[in-house]
Structures are given as structure tokens and as C-alpha cells.
Amino acid sequence: MFDFLWNLGSFIVALGILITAHEYGHFWVARRCGVKVERFSIGFGKALWRKVGQDGTEYVIAMIPLGGYVKMLDERVDTVAESLKSQAFNRKTVWQRIAIVAAGPIANFLFAIIALYFMYLIGVPSVKPVIDTTLANTPAAQIKLSEYQEIITISGQKVRNWDEVNLALIGHIGEDEIDIELAPLSRLEGMDTGSRHHQLDIRHWQFDPEKQSPITSLGLGIFRPQVLPELAVVAKGSAAERGGILPGDTLMAINGSAFDSWESFVTLIQGSTGKAVLLTVKRGMQTLDVDLVPDTQIDKQGRSIGVLGVSPTQAKWPENMRISLEYGIVDSIFAAVDKTWQLIVVSFKMIAKLFTGDVSVKNLSGPISIAQGAGASADYGLVYFLGFIALISVNLGIINLLPLPVLDGGHLLYYFIEVITGRPVPEKAQEIGFRIGAAMLLMLMSIALFNDFARL
């Protein structure tokens, strides 16, 4: 219940911030163009708070936090007094109307830059993208490793951590090849060893984002510190806690066989649904035998698996692999702009690949996934929450630029047609377009919601 409320609260905060930024973009430019704004609303439905400002605009926070709007004086919607007609939206030049409509998505992009600016100013603790192996029968299998290698660039784009590698790889889905530049980690310790470029054939590269990351599906083995047999966490109410297992216990043997690796331990437990297992643990100077019956859980493939509710201790990351993406007051601006541009480019590529079939509609996410992401990022702290809302802000701006008549992009399409033809698109044609756009948007939202529920 707490997780649900935390995710919901984080979602409302994130969405409220992004909607405010988007609508303020429309509001600010409309006012600069001499348009009278009657209402600035965050949310829909019954007003929870309202105030009329000195500028005559009614400011509203409404009950349903799933959107917002700026109501401008418009003769196409209401009767406008003769003295106010010069302030009506429809009386403005086509370029002024384009500026007002485009200001919403642009505000989202600017907000992403601001959020990322503070993220980089604070600093993002991270690790370098170091690989320790490549997997057989994958595009990366041609890379032969004799030592740890750091990924330097992906098709010419510099990458500094795994998040940047992941973002760069996603943008190449559906292409024929990808260039990965690697350099031995030992070069960081004073050895003069150069980097090498590897051209990977990815014509048959496919991955399911529900089951794996683009990194591992490409065949790159991510270096991770050694997992130790000492237990770091024992979940409350779990089978392990009920059996008397405590944090700090060290696994010595399972069913009489010496502890080999955490992976083999997990595999054995998952295959022991309804079966007792004998754990031998070391607690201080004592060695104890504990009989446990794992709890049963359904995984994403619908299989019943055994779960004990324990997590291991992980060795610390080597110092030469740890980094902090932290910049000064000026450099943070350039880093934020560059990151925002990368997010915009990748997002447009992914939308295009949805239409070409290179990316499945199963990858679409809706409000439930966004809420879970907001809650998870808020758990990690302000820095990660800033990165998350920057990503969502960019996506919100891009979605609104889609040429669907109910979105900002649809209005812009009509106005650019007006620029070309010299006359507005007929009202009847606009009405038909709005209906088609609404149907398409409803279909996309339905698919996203279906995917959300399928992931639960």
C-alpha cells in the first residue's frame, strides 16, 4: 500500500510540474502576443483552488491531475465584445498562432534542460561502462577480450556510463550495423594502449525490453563487482525471516552442497517451490542448519518460482571504475543541452521505428509505468528524480508535436497549411481531423494502458 501511495504521489508531483511548464509556455507567449488569457488550469474537473489575478486571468488547480489547459479569448468558441476582439487568439497572425501553440512543447524541452542542469550541477554518482566478456551467438561475439574493456563511443557518440550506452544503443534498433569503440581499462593506470573500433552486424539484432536490456541482448557482458555469500537484506515476512535467517548470515551450503555462486543459489531456490531446502549458514562463530520452504511467486512468464526473500552483499566497485558526472555552473548548461538533444533525437527515432515495425507497440508505456518510474527515481533521490522528469518532459513535448489534430502538432499542421495556401483550413475539415486524431490518440492510450496492466 505504501509503495502505491508513494508512486502515486511521485507521479502527481512529476506530472503537475511538467503540465505547469507546458501550459506556462502557451500562456507566456500568448500574453506576449497580446492574447487575453481567461483561464490557466492545472488539471481538469472540479476546482480545488482558484484565484483571479490582477491580469484578469483565472488561475485554477483542478481535481483530476491528468492534464491542463490555457483558455484564450477566441471568437470561434465564444462571443467576444467588440472592444476585446483585438485580443482574441483567432485575430492574431498565423505566425503568432504558430508561436503560441509551439511554445508548449518548447517549454517542455527547456524544462528538461533546467532539470538536467541541476542534476549535473549536483552530480550523478555513476560507474564507467566496462565489459568483462562477450556472449556467444550475439552480435558482440566477434569481440575477443583478454582484459576488461571500457566502452568509449557508440557510433561516434561519447558515452560515460551505462545509461548513456543504453540510450545510444536504443537509437540503432532496426539499423544494419553499429560501431563500438573499446579501450583497455588498464590504459587508465598509465599504460599507453589505444582504443579499437568494432563494427557489429545488427541486422538480426532483436530484444524484448521486458526481459533484457539492449546491452546484454547485444552480447556485452557488464562488469559487476563480486557477489558475496553474506546476506545484506532479509525481507520482512519472507520465508527466510520466518525460518530464522538474519542479515549478516553467510551462506555456506545448500542441501549439503557447498555454496558455489549466487546465480546457482537463485536457480536452486526458484526450482524448489513447495519443497524444503536445507541452508547451512555461518553466524559469527556458529554454524547453523536451517530448514526452509520457499514462498511461491509468479514471474513475468507466468511460471511458479520459489522465493526466499534475501539479497546478497556486493563487493565495492573498484575506484578506477567509479565516476561522478558533475560539472561547474557554466559546463552544466552545455551538458544539459547536449543530453536534452540526445533524448529528443532518440525519442523521434523510436517513434519512427514504431511505424516501420522495428519497435513493437508493446514498448509503449502509460501512466502506470510512469508512476512506477517516478516512485523508483524518487526513492533513489533528487538527482535521479530530476533525470526522470527531464526524460518525461522531453517525451511529453515530442508527443504533443505529433501531427494529430487534437494535439499541438495537429494545430501546427493546420497553421503551416495556412502559411502555404494563404487561407485557413476549412472548419469542417478541421472538425473531421479532430475526430480522427481523437480516435488515434485514444487507441494509442489504450495500447499503453494495456501494456501497463500486462507488466503488473
Report the candidate in 25, 286, 342, 319 with the shortest Cα–Cα distance to residue 166.
342
Cβ atoms of residues 358 and 310 within 8 Å: no
> Has 23 been annotated as catalytic?
yes
Of the listed 23, 150, 164, 181, which one is catalytic?
23
- Measured CA distances, 111 to 62, 76, 299, 301 (Å): 22, 31, 38, 39
CA 115/CA 103 separation, integer angstroms: 18
Cell of 143: 569481440
- Amino acid making up residue 51: K
Give the residue numbers marked as catalytic: 23
